[in-house]
Amino acid sequence: MLATVLWYALRIGAALQVLPVIGGRGIPVRARLIVTIALSAALSSVLPAPPPMGVDAATALAVLREFSVGVAIGMMLRLAFEAGRLAGELVSQGMGLSFATMADPLNGAPSPVLSQWFYIAFALLFFVTDGHLALVSLLADSYGGLPVGASLPDLPALLSAVPMFFAACLRAGALLALPVMMALLAVNIAFGVLARAASQLNPIQIGLPTSLLVGLTLLMLLMRELSAPVGRLFEDAFAAARALTG
């Protein structure tokens, strides 16, 4: 039983290590280990036991294969959160908040405050839309398409899903930020024209607070419409992860 749990813990632990919100540096190592062991023990009771393996090169390759599959599953879902980070960086440049940074628990490096705002919004929507339950179902189904010890299918066919979903994430991030960016661009152009017409007007002292106020107002309105596009992005992420495991 212990060997079965440990075999399942390889793929699940690798996926949780890469996943945002549930894994990563923002969650203590002990908490990640407890979640990994609990999920592995639960899935081992409903999934078939892995084949017996000895201490040889085939077992080492099987361990590396489990780690690779888990990381690939986690990276697909992490790319969806990177779309929110991209949207936050684009909006922060128009609002003049690109200099306001804070520690990013997802990447362990400073990032704009608005990127953190989008990250928190994506995390809340992930749990509201039962993304954590879909994640457990995805991990369980991955063992049906790619059991422990089985060889990987055609790699070029599987890896072709990665650039397609990466392009979808870039498009989603740009589309989320586009309405706010266009409105802020119009505000900046208007204050630029006013500064040219009346040289005594200081565009920095007047335009920057106005851009900040307009941007925050638009973000409040955007939050009300964020559920549908982010939900579709999560669905595409789960579909891309399922394609990796056959």
The pLDDT of residue 88 is: 86
Domain that holds residue 182: 2-244
pTM: 0.81
The pLDDT of residue 35 is: 87
Give the CA dihedral 191, 194, 198, 202, nearest 10 degrees: 0
Weakly modelled stretches of the chain, pLDDT under 50 = none
The pLDDT of residue 55 is: 67
The two tokens of residue 122 are 């994506």
How confident is the model over 176-208, as pLDDT tens digits?
888 888 888 888 788 777 777 766 666 667 777
The pLDDT of residue 201 is: 66
Q: How far apart, in whole angstroms, are the C-alpha atoms of residue 65 and residue 92?
A: 40
How confident is the model over 139-169, as pLDDT tens digits?
888 888 777 766 666 666 566 667 788 888 8
The pLDDT of residue 151 is: 67
The pLDDT of residue 192 is: 76
Q: How far apart, in whole angstroms, are the C-alpha atoms of residue 50 and residue 147?
A: 8
- Picking from 90, 85, 128, the residue whose alpha carbon sits closest to that of residue 107 is 85
Q: How far apart, in whole angstroms, are the C-alpha atoms of residue 86 and residue 245?
A: 27
Give the CA dihedral 113, 114, 117, 118, nearest 10 degrees: -140
- Picking from 8, 16, 203, the residue whose alpha carbon sits closest to that of residue 96 is 203
The pLDDT of residue 106 is: 58
Domain count, the chain: 1
The pLDDT of residue 60 is: 81
